[in-house]
Protein backbone atom coordinates (compact mmCIF):
# COMPACT_ATOMS: atom_id res chain seq x y z
CA UNK A 1 0.00 0.00 0.00
CA UNK A 2 1.15 3.54 -0.67
CA UNK A 3 1.49 6.54 1.51
CA UNK A 4 -1.61 8.55 2.35
CA UNK A 5 -1.32 12.31 2.28
CA UNK A 6 -0.23 13.49 5.69
CA UNK A 7 1.35 16.34 7.59
CA UNK A 8 4.57 17.82 6.21
CA UNK A 9 7.31 19.93 7.75
CA UNK A 10 7.68 22.62 5.09
CA UNK A 11 10.37 24.54 6.95
CA UNK A 12 12.68 21.50 7.12
CA UNK A 13 13.50 21.51 3.40
CA UNK A 14 14.05 25.27 3.54
CA UNK A 15 16.28 25.28 6.63
CA UNK A 16 18.27 22.06 6.12
CA UNK A 17 20.23 20.17 3.49
CA UNK A 18 18.60 16.72 3.46
CA UNK A 19 21.33 14.07 3.30
CA UNK A 20 19.19 10.93 3.63
CA UNK A 21 15.78 9.84 4.89
CA UNK A 22 14.48 6.94 6.95
CA UNK A 23 10.98 5.77 7.86
CA UNK A 24 10.08 5.15 11.51
CA UNK A 25 6.98 4.21 13.45
CA UNK A 26 5.62 6.30 16.32
CA UNK A 27 4.44 5.18 19.74
CA UNK A 28 1.13 7.02 20.14
CA UNK A 29 -2.08 6.91 22.13
CA UNK A 30 -5.38 6.16 20.39
CA UNK A 31 -6.69 9.71 20.61
CA UNK A 32 -3.44 11.02 19.10
CA UNK A 33 -3.89 8.75 16.08
CA UNK A 34 -7.41 10.11 15.60
CA UNK A 35 -6.12 13.68 15.79
CA UNK A 36 -3.46 12.93 13.17
CA UNK A 37 -6.11 11.37 10.93
CA UNK A 38 -8.09 14.61 11.29
CA UNK A 39 -4.98 16.58 10.28
CA UNK A 40 -4.53 18.27 13.66
CA UNK A 41 -0.78 17.86 14.08
CA UNK A 42 2.27 19.98 13.35
CA UNK A 43 5.91 19.06 12.73
CA UNK A 44 7.09 22.66 12.34
CA UNK A 45 9.20 22.78 15.51
CA UNK A 46 9.81 19.04 15.81
CA UNK A 47 13.19 17.39 16.16
CA UNK A 48 14.48 13.97 17.14
CA UNK A 49 17.05 13.33 19.85
CA UNK A 50 18.83 10.24 21.09
CA UNK A 51 18.21 9.38 24.76
CA UNK A 52 20.24 6.39 25.85
CA UNK A 53 19.65 3.74 23.21
CA UNK A 54 16.30 5.10 22.04
CA UNK A 55 15.25 7.95 19.78
CA UNK A 56 12.46 10.33 20.76
CA UNK A 57 10.60 12.97 18.76
CA UNK A 58 10.30 16.27 20.64
CA UNK A 59 8.14 19.37 20.10
CA UNK A 60 5.80 17.68 17.64
CA UNK A 61 2.39 19.16 18.40
CA UNK A 62 -0.67 16.91 18.24
CA UNK A 63 -3.87 18.72 19.21
CA UNK A 64 -6.16 16.87 21.62
CA UNK A 65 -8.92 14.86 19.96
CA UNK A 66 -12.17 16.66 20.66
CA UNK A 67 -14.10 13.54 21.74
CA UNK A 68 -11.47 12.13 24.11
CA UNK A 69 -10.56 12.75 27.74
CA UNK A 70 -8.16 15.71 27.76
CA UNK A 71 -7.43 16.23 31.46
CA UNK A 72 -3.82 15.00 31.58
CA UNK A 73 -2.99 15.46 27.91
CA UNK A 74 0.28 17.14 26.90
CA UNK A 75 0.19 18.02 23.16
CA UNK A 76 4.00 18.30 22.85
CA UNK A 77 5.10 15.32 24.93
CA UNK A 78 8.16 13.35 23.74
CA UNK A 79 7.13 10.44 21.52
CA UNK A 80 9.25 7.33 21.09
CA UNK A 81 10.29 6.35 17.58
CA UNK A 82 9.98 2.68 16.70
CA UNK A 83 13.08 1.51 14.83
CA UNK A 84 15.16 -1.64 14.62
CA UNK A 85 18.32 -1.72 16.74
CA UNK A 86 20.60 -1.60 13.68
CA UNK A 87 18.73 1.48 12.39
CA UNK A 88 19.14 3.21 15.76
CA UNK A 89 22.85 2.36 15.84
CA UNK A 90 23.24 3.68 12.29
CA UNK A 91 21.47 6.95 13.16
CA UNK A 92 23.54 7.35 16.33
CA UNK A 93 26.72 7.04 14.26
CA UNK A 94 25.43 9.58 11.73
CA UNK A 95 24.22 12.14 14.28
CA UNK A 96 27.46 11.96 16.26
CA UNK A 97 29.09 13.82 13.35
CA UNK A 98 29.29 17.55 13.95
CA UNK A 99 26.53 19.66 12.44
CA UNK A 100 24.06 16.86 11.64
CA UNK A 101 20.56 16.60 13.08
CA UNK A 102 17.50 14.35 12.86
CA UNK A 103 14.54 16.30 11.50
CA UNK A 104 11.00 15.01 10.86
CA UNK A 105 9.89 15.69 7.28
CA UNK A 106 6.49 14.07 7.00
CA UNK A 107 3.84 12.28 9.06
CA UNK A 108 1.62 9.82 7.17
CA UNK A 109 -0.34 6.59 7.37
CA UNK A 110 0.98 3.39 5.83
CA UNK A 111 -1.23 0.30 6.07
CA UNK A 112 -3.16 1.93 8.91
CA UNK A 113 -0.06 2.74 10.98
CA UNK A 114 1.35 6.20 11.64
CA UNK A 115 4.82 6.65 10.18
CA UNK A 116 7.24 9.55 10.31
CA UNK A 117 9.83 10.26 7.64
CA UNK A 118 13.03 11.37 9.37
CA UNK A 119 15.92 13.08 7.65
CA UNK A 120 19.58 13.17 8.55
CA UNK A 121 20.13 16.83 7.77
CA UNK A 122 22.68 19.60 7.96
CA UNK A 123 21.56 23.12 8.80
CA UNK A 124 21.71 25.76 6.10
CA UNK A 125 23.50 29.04 6.67
CA UNK A 126 21.74 32.34 5.90
CA UNK A 127 23.60 32.77 2.62
CA UNK A 128 22.57 29.27 1.51
CA UNK A 129 18.92 30.17 2.12
CA UNK A 130 19.27 33.43 0.18
CA UNK A 131 20.92 31.60 -2.71
CA UNK A 132 18.10 29.05 -2.81
CA UNK A 133 15.50 31.83 -2.87
CA UNK A 134 17.32 33.58 -5.74
CA UNK A 135 17.50 30.34 -7.71
CA UNK A 136 13.80 29.67 -7.15
CA UNK A 137 12.84 33.21 -8.23
CA UNK A 138 15.00 32.95 -11.35
CA UNK A 139 13.35 29.64 -12.27
CA UNK A 140 9.93 31.20 -11.69
CA UNK A 141 10.82 34.14 -13.99
CA UNK A 142 11.99 31.73 -16.71
CA UNK A 143 8.72 29.78 -16.48
CA UNK A 144 6.73 33.01 -16.61
CA UNK A 145 8.64 34.17 -19.70
CA UNK A 146 8.00 30.82 -21.40
CA UNK A 147 4.26 31.12 -20.74
CA UNK A 148 4.00 34.65 -22.14
CA UNK A 149 6.16 33.84 -25.17
CA UNK A 150 3.66 31.33 -26.56
Range of the domain at 111: 7-124
- We report the CATH number of the domain holding residue 81 as 2.40.280.10
DSSP 53: T
A 10 A CB-CB count for 76 gives 13
User: Which parts of the chain sit beneath pLDDT 50?
Assistant: 1
What is the Cα–Cα distance from 78 to 55, expressed in whole angstroms? Answer: 10
The tally of domains found in the chain comes to: 1
- Whether residue 82 is contained in a domain is answered as yes
- pLDDT given at position 4: 61
- pLDDT given at position 150: 65
- pLDDT given at position 1: 43
Question: Tens digit of pLDDT for each residue in 22-64?
Answer: 999 999 988 888 899 888 899 988 999 999 889 999 999 999 9
What is the Cα–Cα distance from 79 to 59, expressed in whole angstroms? Answer: 9
- pLDDT given at position 29: 85
- Whether residue 76 is contained in a domain is answered as yes
Amino acid sequence: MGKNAGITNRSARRDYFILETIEAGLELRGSEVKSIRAGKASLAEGFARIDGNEIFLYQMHISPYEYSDQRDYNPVRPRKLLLHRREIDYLISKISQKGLALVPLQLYFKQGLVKVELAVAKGKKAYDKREAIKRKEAQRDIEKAKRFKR
